[in-house]
Structure 1
């Protein structure tokens, strides 16, 4: 990990500023109200997570979502996967409040909310280890693709030996996102995960500008 940190320190990186302050409650609510309207096919990916989790031969499955946002995925997983305990990590308390408002009492009993900013070098410490880690449409919030490999390497500390890591984000492509500093091509996603020394990386879904990778250590 130190090698990747040094590479970043020795590279001039011009971060792409976010157009929205997701810590602001009104901005967070606006984002939440628009996201599924813009991309209703997100739920196709949510269903795939459910399928993958249900196929794990485990009980009391520990799931971590990084960049959990307003709780759409949390709600979907908790509704359909009754064997999971879910930890939500986000840098925005406003997003956590939106998430809590979606969940029933018996769902909230299986959730832990944590505040952490994954742009900080020690964000992942003290979170524990998990059977499943998901980052869905949040990787670009690193604000530059140059940080991706270090992030993926940090996530390895959160994975049990037989855990699975799901990475889903927008892609840089002619028919998708156009900012090649913020977003990566499918090949660049593979490269960033391989640079972080994941032994198994599989593209399991590529649809309408979103790609989903299943990774193991």
Structure 2
């Protein structure tokens, strides 16, 4: 099975700007997920809290969390330097001191070696499908386990393959496929705290 080619190149400024301008317009309910992350993280962020976002894009989530949670340290990982540039433009000076930007692709072998620590929370929001085929999901989730601290939390939000959502069943997974991939990566007690308009959040704690 071949990978599913992307119709856009988010390393290109024009494509990145178009994605930035339309993402929240197309799906205004993205903010409901962002607010859920804030409420989840806040009780555990009284001391320094390390957060990793994979596929961080133009920094909407980065800015939202840094502005709401003053004690977090944020690592944004994305394959597009252009996206990182757009993301940094959204932050105040004090927020920039708590943000680290890493250029890398989670499709590359040993991509996790570019990260030098473990994290309390790892979030991948609307980017899991950038693996470009669902068959890679299990190994990806296994890699995430190695990056989480004890009692760390993994948050996966992506489009479902469903009649009311996405139709490409090679790129996107249905709800059961998501659950099976996470279970095969040894995640347990999987929650689905939020699902809106085909966008579904899976929440796992390392026990």
TM-score tier by shorter-chain length is over 0.9
1:98 matched to 2:94: no
1:204 matched to 2:204: no
Segments of structure 1 that go 5 or more residues without pairing to the other structure are 1-12
Q: Is the 8 A contact 2:45 2:72 kept in 1?
A: no
- How far apart are the structure 2 equivalents of 1:135 and 1:200? 18
1:82 matched to 2:76: no
**Worse-matched range after superposition: 81-90 or 56-65:** 56-65
Structure 1 equivalent of residue 26 of structure 2:
38
Structure 2 equivalent of residue 6 of structure 1:
none
Structure 2 equivalent of residue 144 of structure 1:
133
Segments of structure 2 that go 5 or more residues without pairing to the other structure are none
- How far apart are the structure 1 equivalents of 2:44 and 2:128? 25
Alignment length (residue pairs): 205
Structure 2 equivalent of residue 73 of structure 1:
61
The secondary structure found in structure 1 opposite 2:51 is strand
The secondary structure found in structure 2 opposite 1:59 is coil
Match for residue 23 of structure 1 among 5, 8, 11: 11
1:213 matched to 2:202: yes
Match for residue 160 of structure 1 among 137, 146, 149: 149
* Aligned-pair CA distance for 1:57: 6.2
- How far apart are the structure 2 equivalents of 1:56 and 1:190? 26
The secondary structure found in structure 1 opposite 2:100 is strand
What are the superposed Cα offsets for residues 88-144 of structure 1, whole Å, 9 maximum, x if unpaired?
A: 000000000000000000000000000110001211114110000000000000000
What are the superposed Cα offsets for residues 146-196 of structure 1, whole Å, 9 maximum, x if unpaired?
A: 000110001111100110000000001110001111000111110010011
- How far apart are the structure 1 equivalents of 2:161 and 2:46? 36
1:173 matched to 2:153: no
* Aligned-pair CA distance for 1:19: 0.5
List structure 1 runs of 4+ shifted beyond 6 angstroms: none
1:55 matched to 2:43: yes
CA RMSD of the aligned region, Å? Answer: 0.9
Structure 2 equivalent of residue 4 of structure 1:
none
Q: CA 1:161 to 1:94, structure 2 compared with 1: closer, same or farther past 3 Å? A: same
Q: Give TM-score, length-normalised by structure 1.
A: 0.92
- How far apart are the structure 2 equivalents of 1:131 and 1:72? 20
